[in-house]
Chain A
Amino acid sequence: MAPPAHHDDVHRPDPRPSWDEVAERYGDKIYNVAYRLTGDVDDAADLTQEVFVRVYGNLDRYQPGTFDGWLYRITKNLFLDQVRRRKRVRLETLPEEEWRTPVSEEPGPAELVDRRTLEANLERGLAELSQPFRLAVVLCDVEGLSYDEITEATGWPTGTVRSRIHRGRRQLRDFLEREAADRARTRGASGDE
């Protein structure tokens, strides 16, 4: 049996994949999306499990088409269910001591700290976006989906997809700029002392 189509060739109908193929090919992929949507390791693992349980239960009903789109649609629906169920999404990012501790001497502790700081800021910025904007930015910029693929995954009209990606990016950009300004102010204040 041929493997399911990757989202690069999303318009080519693909056959129904076996469970082993689904788990192997999509485990990390769905977890990464789930992590960027929830911003939390445990919530991401929970969401990933829910997605795969749902896929397992419905695999025989999957109609050959765009398997990735089907998976993203399930992920999106379950993510929104999870948010509704919990009434909140955890906003906190990695604990400070975790991201401040370099995990390797390469490419250098200072650079790693910078990277971790940037990642932590991005995670906080993503978490501050409202759910539709976060979903749009994650699917477009983390997963690299085209606007058509996002339309298929979310059911939003194309104009809404375009608008949400744009507004999400703008809000994220504004958040990062505010963070940078705050850091500069803090450094300036400590330098004045």
Chain B
Amino acid sequence: MSDDCAAAAPLHSAWLDGMLDDDGRAFVEAHLAGCAACRAEVESLGRTRMLVRNLPVRRLPDGVDLLPDLTRSGAGPRRQGPALAVTGGRVVAAALAVVAGMLGGAAFALGGGSSPEDRLVNVPMDLYVADHIVHTVGGPLSTPVVVDGRR
């Protein structure tokens, strides 16, 4: 191996990857132009690179849980941050919905309202709230309290 070969050889991969500066690239290309052995070396490295690049992409197998047993392990965000704002927002919305549902249920149970028409409307608030909770945080709402035997 000539001195030039010894100097160019460590740069072969970086040349293939286009990661040499102008001087390095010019040096390697000038050497390759006159050295069949180094051209063969670069070609075989390029072929190897191509084979690795074409390896099939492995997909995450079904059933692999990315967050296993988090509640038991205690892992989790150290503090509630904006990154989890969507989840936090859902919790707040659900909590508000619970409160609204409870108040609404109690109001209807008490027959409250400012006019007779209000009392004629029979909204199954507990069902709506439960449905909302199921679709937002996955937990059902307990049945609104029974007051004086009436819902």
Contacts and interface: CB of A to CB of B under 8 A. Distances in A.
A56 B48 CA distance: 36
Contacts of A147: 14, 17, 19
Nearest to B78: A60
Interface of A: 16-20, 23, 27-28, 31-32, 35-36, 41, 44-45, 48-49, 52-53, 56-62, 118-119, 122, 126, 137, 140-142, 144, 146-147, 162-163, 165-166, 169-170, 172-173, 176-177
B77 A49 contact: no
Given A49-B66, A60-B77, A169-B48, A27 B86 contact: no
Contacts of A62: 83
B49 A60 contact: no
A19 B87 contact: yes
A131 to B, nearest CB: 16
Nearest to B73: A53
Contacts of A142: 52-53, 55
B84 A18 contact: yes
Interface in B76-124: 76-87
B10 interface: yes
Q: Chain B, interface size: which category?
A: 35 or more
B20 to A, nearest CB: 9
B13 interface: yes
A61 B78 contact: yes
Interface of B: 10, 12-14, 17, 19, 44-45, 47-49, 51-53, 55-61, 64-68, 70, 73, 75-87
Nearest to B59: A28
Contacts of B12: 166
B40 to A, nearest CB: 11
A166 B55 CA distance: 19
Given A142-B52, A162-B19, A170 B78 contact: no
**A-B residue pairs, 7 tightest by C-beta:** A60-B81, A166-B13, A141-B52, A31-B60, A52-B66, A173-B48, A35-B58
Contacts of A163: 10
Contacts of A23: 66
Given A57-B76, A142-B55, A172 B48 contact: yes
21 contacts: A19-B84, A31-B61, A36-B58, A41-B61, A45-B64, A48-B64, A53-B66, A56-B67, A56-B75, A59-B77, A60-B77, A60-B79, A60-B81, A60-B84, A141-B53, A147-B19, A165-B13, A169-B49, A170-B45, A173-B44, A173-B48
